[in-house]
Chain A
Amino acid sequence: DTGVSQDPRHKITKRGQNVTFRCDPISEHNRLYWYRQTLGQGPEFLTYFQNEAQLEKSRLLSDRFSAERPKGSFSTLEIQRTEQGDSAMYLCASSLVVLGQFFGPGTRLTVL
């Protein structure tokens, strides 16, 4: 296993378009997180899955954001009707226990 992978690494889209990102966690990890990070800031929590159940979604997320983790394996994060303020690095992380997370390389989104 080579760690957490994310696809795509970069996405440029026009305002109003929908985008979907994929995260493949470390295979035995049952916990999966999505974060958003803007330049010079720490990661900001978006949502958390334990197996296939989405246990928490940040109040900072609007209804335009949705995440899924079918069968408790890979996860997708969809942003509908993108806005320029959505431009950021979207990070996925996985873990087995609450003693640290393993992050993917991130997907950098640019909304024009």
Chain B
Amino acid sequence: TQLLEQSPQFLSIQEGENLTVYCNSSSVFSSLQWYRQEPGEGPVLLVTVVTGGEVKKLKRLTFQFGDARKDSSLHITAAQPGDTGLYLCAGSSGTYKYIFGTGTRLKVLA
């Protein structure tokens, strides 16, 4: 059974701080996505990574796919209150199915 574990589960930080969220598995994925979800809404796709070692940047967010394609990280620089939300990673093995991680709930205090 494929599992994706995210850490930390909860994170509360001050505006301007940096943070990193991790997504780990013992399984290899052909692609991995990161989503952000706000209360009462569906997840919003932030990025997809497909190549081992790949790094993608989206403004203050940096995403990295592990060399072995089993793990990923999301780094946020100078966090802002607008970054508050539930961050989810999801992996696919190349078929139609996605496995979602357990989620990291981030709160950025002004």
Contact = CB atoms under 8 A, between A and B. Distances in A.
A100 B33 CA distance: 6
Interface residues of B, number: 26
B50 to A, nearest CB: 7
Interface string A49-60: 010000110000
A55 B96 contact: yes
Given A93-B42, A104-B42, A106-B41, A99 B105 contact: no
Contacts of B84: none
Interface residues of A, number: 26
A98 B92 contact: yes
Nearest to B30: A98
A93 B43 CA distance: 9
A43 interface: yes
B43 A108 contact: no
A85 interface: no
Contacts of A33: 98
A108 B43 CA distance: 14
Contacts of B92: 98-99
A33 B98 CA distance: 10
Given A99-B31, A103-B44, A105-B42, A42 B102 contact: yes
A101 B45 contact: yes
Given A48-B97, A50-B96, A100-B45, 7 more contacts: A31-B96, A40-B103, A42-B90, A42-B103, A45-B98, A103-B43, A105-B42
Interface of B: 30-31, 33, 35, 40-45, 48, 50, 88, 90, 92, 94-103, 105
Interface of A: 4, 31, 33, 35, 40-45, 48, 50, 55-56, 91, 93, 98-106, 108
